[in-house]
């Protein structure tokens, strides 16, 4: 999964047990920083709904609202990565 992102060499991963327990999260430490990999919970995998949420996050970031920025995929800089029925998101860890 992490191979879809250009985040450097992975040094360590660990479960991130904060927030919603329905969405699995992984704290990823790389030689370029720390990131949170999140898998959207089952039933919340409508790509159009996720795209809308991401567009709102990008808008807020453009207005300097303090929030963790989404990381785009390596090939097409997409803010979500769909593998099978699951949608994954990668955020900068703040």
Q: Is the confidence at residue 87, as pLDDT, over 80? A: yes
Secondary element (H or E) of residue 28: strand 25-30
The predicted model scores a pTM of: 0.88
**Selected residue with higher pLDDT from 43 and 12:** 12
CATH code for the domain of 6? 3.30.200.20
**What is the residue range of 42's domain?**
2-92
Q: How confident is the model at residue 14 (pLDDT cuts 50, 70, 90)?
A: very high
Distance, CA of 34 to CA of 21 (rounded, Å): 21
Q: What is the pLDDT of residue 9?
A: 95
Q: Structural domain tally of the chain?
A: 1
Asked if residue 20 has pLDDT above 80, the reply is: no
Chain segment 31-81, per-residue pLDDT in tens:
999 999 999 887 767 888 889 999 999 999 999 999 999 999 999 999 999
Contacts of 10 (CB under 8 A, 6+ apart): 2, 28, 29, 30
Task: Report the 10 Å Cβ neighbour count for 2.
Answer: 15
Q: Is residue 19 over pLDDT 80?
A: no
């Amino acid at each position: 999964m992490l191979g879809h992102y250009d985040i450097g060499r992975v040094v360590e991963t660990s479960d991130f047990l904060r927030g919603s327990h329905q969405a699995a999260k992984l704290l990823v430490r790389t030689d370029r920083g720390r990131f949170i990999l999140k898998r959207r919970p089952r039933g919340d995998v409508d790509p159009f709904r996720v795209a809308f949420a991401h567009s709102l996050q990008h808008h807020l970031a453009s207005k300097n609202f303090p929030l963790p920025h989404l990381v785009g995929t390596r090939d097409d800089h997409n803010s979500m990565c769909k593998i099978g029925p699951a949608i994954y998101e990668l955020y900068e860890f703040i």
